[in-house]
Amino acid sequence: EVQVVESGGGLVKPGGSLRLACATSGFAFSRYSMNWVRQAPGKGLEWVSSISSSSNFRYYADSVKGRFTISRDNAETSVYLQMNSLRADDTAVYYCAKGYHDFWSGFDYWGQGALVTVSS
Amino acid sequence: QSALTQPASVSGSPGQSITISCTGTSSDVGGYNYVSWYQHHPGKAPKLLIYDVSNRPSGVSHRFSGSKSGNTASLTISGLQAEDETDYYCSSYTSTSTLYVFGTGTRVTVL
C-alpha cells in the first residue's frame, strides 16, 4: 500500500523558517518525481515545487522562488520542503504528492497535508 | 500566470451526465497534452482522475472521462452519484515561468 505522510507544519512568525518532511512507502521512490502543492484557506490548489527522481531538476512556482528549497533522500524515501522568509500568504495546507507518469502527467498519490500558519 | 478557468459550480441529478470545462491558453492547455483532473473532498487527499488529457489511472471509475478541444479541456462525469458531490480541479503544464498551473476549481452538486 502506498503511503505519503507529511510532517513539520505549525505556526511560524513572518520572516521565519519551517521545514516540511514527506515520508513515503509502498512504491519505488527513486523512480518518481515528487511534488508539493498547497491550498490556502478558502482557496484552490496551487503548485509549489517539483523535484526529479535523481534530484537533477528542481522547479518552483514564481511565488516561492528564492525562498523555498525542495530536496529528497532516496535512501530514506522522503522529500523535504525548506521554507524561508515566510509570509502571511504562505499560510496553507501543504500537500506532498507523487509524480505519476511523465514529469508533468499529474500526481497520483497525495498525503493528507500539513498546515502551515504564518502569523505574528 | 493566472489559474486555469473553471466554472465555480456545476450541478446535476443522480444518473445524469455533467461536464466541467477548464479554459487556458496555447501556452498550457492548448499547447500540451499534460492536462490532469483531480477530485478533492475537503480535508482529504486529492485523487487523480485523469492524466494526459484523457487517460484514467487504474482503479478510477469509467464514469470519469476527459477530453480537450483547442485551449479548453473538459471532464465529464456520467451516471452522476451522490458520492461525486465535491470539488474538482484541472491542471496543466505551462510553458510560462510558472511551469504548472491548477484550475480555479469547480464544486459539483448532486441535486
| Residues A50-89 pLDDT 10s | 999 999 999 999 999 999 999 999 999 999 999 999 999 9
pLDDT of residue B1: 54
pLDDT of residue A29: 96
Q: How confident is the model at residue B43 (pLDDT cuts 50, 70, 90)?
A: confident
DSSP A99: E
Say yes or no to pLDDT of B85 above 60: yes
- Non-local CB neighbours of A72 within 8 Å, separated by 6+ positions: A34, A51, A55, A78, A79, A80
Residue of B nearest to A46 (CA): B102
Query: Once rounded to an integer, what is the mean pLDDT over residues A7-16?
Result: 97
For residue B53, how far is the Cα from the chain centroid? 9
Give yes or no for B23 touching A (CB within 8 A): no
Under an 8 Å CB criterion, which residues of A touch B? 4, 37, 44-47, 50, 59, 61-62, 95, 97, 100-102, 104-113
Per the structure block, which three cell numbers stand in for B37? 483532473
pLDDT of residue A7: 97
Give yes or no for B88 touching A (CB within 8 A): no
From the list B45, B51, B105, which residue is nearest A110 (CB)? B45
Mean per-residue pLDDT over chain B, rounded: 95
Give yes or no for B100 touching A (CB within 8 A): yes
Say yes or no to pLDDT of B108 above 90: yes
Say yes or no to pLDDT of B83 above 60: yes
Q: How confident is the model at residue B97 (pLDDT cuts 50, 70, 90)?
A: confident
Nearest-neighbour CA in chain B from A105: distance (Å): 5
pLDDT of residue B2: 77
Q: How confident is the model at residue B98 (pLDDT cuts 50, 70, 90)?
A: confident
pLDDT of residue A101: 79
In chain B the first and final C-alpha atoms are separated, in Å, by 35
Please, are residues B34 and B48 in contact by the beta-carbon 8 Å criterion? no
Interface with B, mutate which of A57, A108, A109, A115 (most B CBs under 10 A): A108
- Non-local CB neighbours of A99 within 8 Å, separated by 6+ positions: A32, A33, A34, A35, A50, A105, A106, A107, A108
